[in-house]
Amino acid sequence: MASVGPALEIARLGVRYGATVALADVDLRVEAGEIVALVGPSGCGKSSLLRAVAGLVPATGEVRATDRALHALPAHRRGVGVVFQDHALFPHLDVAGNVAFGLVEARAAAEVRRERTAAWLARVGLADRAGDDVDRLSGGERQRIALARTLAPQPPLVLLDEPFASLDPGLRTRLSLEVAGWLRELGTAALFVTHDLDEALAIADRIAVLRAGRLVQVAAPHELMARPADPWTARFVGHENVWEGDEAARLPGAPTAALLLAERARWRPGTGAAEGAVPATHVAASPVRDGWRLELEVPAWGTRVRWTARPRELPGGDAPGAGTAGILEAPDEAWFRWTGRG
Partner 1 sequence: MRRPPFAHALGALAAAALALGVLAPLAALVGRTVDAAAARTLVDPQLWGLVGRTTLQATASTAAALLLGAPAAWALSRPELPLRRLWRALFVVPFVLPSLVAATAVLAWVGPRGLLGVDLRDSWWIVILAHAFYNVGIVARIVGGHLEGATPRLLEAAAALGASPWRRAWRVTLPTAAPAIVASAALVFLFCFTSFGVILVLAPAPEFATLEVEVYRRVARTFDLGGASALALLQLALVLVLAQPYLRAQARMAHGVVRAAPTARGAIRWPALAAVAPAGLLVALPLAALFALAAAPPGGASLAGAVRSLTTPSRIVGLTDAPTAVANSLRFGLVATLLALLIGGAIAFAVERGGWRWLDAFGLLPWAVSAVTLGLGLLLVAPGLAASAWGVPLAHALLATPLVARVGVSALAAVPTAWREAAATLGASPWRVARRLDLPLTRAAWASAAAFAFAASLGEFGAALLLRRPETTTLPVAIAERLGRPGAGSYAEALALAALLAVLVGASVALIDRAGGRRRGAEPF
Find the shortest distance in angstroms from Cβ 52 to partner 1.
Answer: 13
Q: Which is nearer to partner 1, 55 or 221 (CB)?
A: 55
| Residue ranges binding partner 1 (CB under 8 A) | 54-56, 74-82, 84, 86, 88, 90-92, 101-102, 104-106, 149-150, 153
Find the shortest distance in angstroms from Cβ 160 to partner 1.
Answer: 12
Find the shortest distance in angstroms from Cβ 98 to partner 1.
Answer: 9
Order of strands, sheet of 257-260, starting from the edge strand that comes earlier in the sequence: 242-244, 257-260, 335-338
Compute CA distances 329 → 30, 255, 314, whole Å: 40, 19, 15
Q: Which is nearer to partner 1, 102 or 231 (CB)?
A: 102
**Pairing state between β 189-193 and 8-17:** unpaired
For every residue of 236-286, DSSP letters joined together read HTT---EEETHHHHTSTT--SEEEE-GGG-EEEES----TTEEEEEEEEEE
Find the shortest distance in angstroms from Cβ 131 to partner 1.
Answer: 17
Q: Where are the beta strands (DSSP E) in 74-186?
A: 81-83, 157-161
Q: Which is nearer to partner 1, 108 or 224 (CB)?
A: 108
Find the shortest distance in angstroms from Cβ 188 to partner 1.
Answer: 14
Q: Which is nearer to partner 1, 47 or 217 (CB)?
A: 47
All residues at 6 or more sequence positions from 261 whose CB lies less than 8 Å from its CB, including other chains: 226, 239, 241, 334, 335, 336
Q: Which is nearer to partner 1, 145 or 258 (CB)?
A: 145
Q: Which is nearer to partner 1, 93 or 278 (CB)?
A: 93
Q: How many CB atoms lie within 10 A of CB 110?
A: 10
Cα of first residue to Cα of last residue in the chain, in angstroms, is: 42
Find the shortest distance in angstroms from Cβ 106 to partner 1.
Answer: 6
Q: Which is nearer to partner 1, 7 or 218 (CB)?
A: 7
All residues at 6 or more sequence positions from 181 whose CB lies less than 8 Å from its CB, including other chains: none
In angstroms, rounded to a whole number, what is the distance separating the alpha carbons of residues 132 and 140? 15
- Residues of 143-159 as b/e, b for ≥16 C-beta within 10 angstroms? bbbbbbbbbbbebbbbb
SS3 category, 299? coil
Find the shortest distance in angstroms from Cβ 290 to partner 1.
Answer: 39
Bridge partners (DSSP) of residue 336 are 259
